[in-house]
Amino acid sequence: MTYDPDNIFGKILRGEIPCHRIYEDEHTLAFMDVMPMVEGHCLVIPKEGSRGLLDAKPEVLHQVMATVQKVARAAVTAFDAEGFQIRQYNEPAAGQTVFHLHVHILPLKEGQRPAPHVGGMADHAVLARQAEKVRAAL
């Protein structure tokens, strides 16, 4: 499979679709997931296009994971989480639905279980407030 730059995350990177930004540097972008599984569900993507983990350059993976660590730390603080999950899916058989490498960050409280990632879109005012909370904790 090859990378298609017209995927939704490619469009976000080009400014064609808005997002609730949390953090950005020259290599990565972090923003709120519009179909959150938990309060504070964040995504981190590389700016360089790759379909998934296996076709990404090692330096891109390093940059992505450095941002995941930074944003996860802030999300845990912002939402008083007791832990967090990171999830990364590759190809349809594994549950990937957007074919641009991305990592999910799910801040969690003890015993909390994430909702399925198939619900409707969250209220954008709520996502904006959540993004501000995470940015404030960076």
pLDDT at 116: 85
pLDDT at 118: 76
pTM above 0.75, yes or no: yes
pLDDT at 120: 82
Torsion (CA) 96, 109, 61, 17 in degrees, nearest 10: 60
Amino acid of residue 75: A
pLDDT in tens, the chain (138 residues): 899 999 999 999 999 999 999 999 999 999 999 999 999 999 999 999 999 999 999 999 999 999 999 999 999 999 999 999 999 999 999 999 999 999 999 999 999 999 988 778 999 999 999 999 999 999
- Whole-number Cα distances in Å, 127 to 65, 87, 112: 23, 20, 20
pLDDT at 117: 82
From 102, 104, 117, 124, the catalytic residue: 102
Q: Is 100 a catalytic residue?
A: no
pLDDT at 31: 98
Helix 124-137 × helix 58-78 angle, to 10°: 100
pLDDT at 128: 98
Give the span between the Cα atoms of 64 and 67, in whole angstroms.
5
